[in-house]
């Protein structure tokens, strides 16, 4: 019998829910201090996961949760990228 592989789970920094990694979007701060959205989930750096949900992203933006998690200022363009990813995924369904 084939062993069922464990699905990697990560915690959303806004809702504190554990979810499968593929249901979250990773935002990364690298050693140079650059912050960017990492759709692959594999880039080097300090990562924070946000639920793939517009409401959660807006809450993160208002409360400044990402900047606290990654210890740096988050540009509004990062939130725009996150929203684009969510909207892009919603259109596929």
57 within some domain: yes
Residue 91: its pLDDT value, please? 55
Q: Does pTM surpass 0.95?
A: no
The enclosing domain of 32 has a CATH number of 3.30.1230.10
What's the whole-number mean pLDDT along residues 32-45? 94
Q: What is the number of helices (H) and of strands (E) in the chain?
A: 3, 5
Instruction: Domain of residue 64: give its range.
Output: 9-92
What is the rounded average pLDDT for all residues in the chain? 91
For 51-62, the pLDDT digits (tens) are 999 999 999 999
> Would you say residue 35 lies in a domain?
yes
Residues 6+ apart with CB under 8 A from 43: 26, 28, 30, 36
Domain count for the chain? 1
Region 63-67: mean pLDDT is: 95
């Amino acid at each position: 019998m084939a062993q069922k592989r464990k699905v990697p789970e990560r915690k959303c920094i806004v809702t504190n829910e554990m979810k499968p990694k593929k249901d979250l979007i990773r935002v990364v701060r690298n050693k140079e201090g650059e912050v960017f959205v990492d759709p692959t989930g594999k880039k080097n750096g300090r990562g924070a996961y946000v639920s793939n949900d517009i409401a959660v992203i807006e809450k993160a933006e208002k409360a400044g949760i990402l900047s606290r998690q990654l210890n740096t200022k988050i540009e509004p363009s990062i939130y725009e990228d996150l929203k684009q990813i969510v909207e892009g995924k919603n259109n596929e369904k």
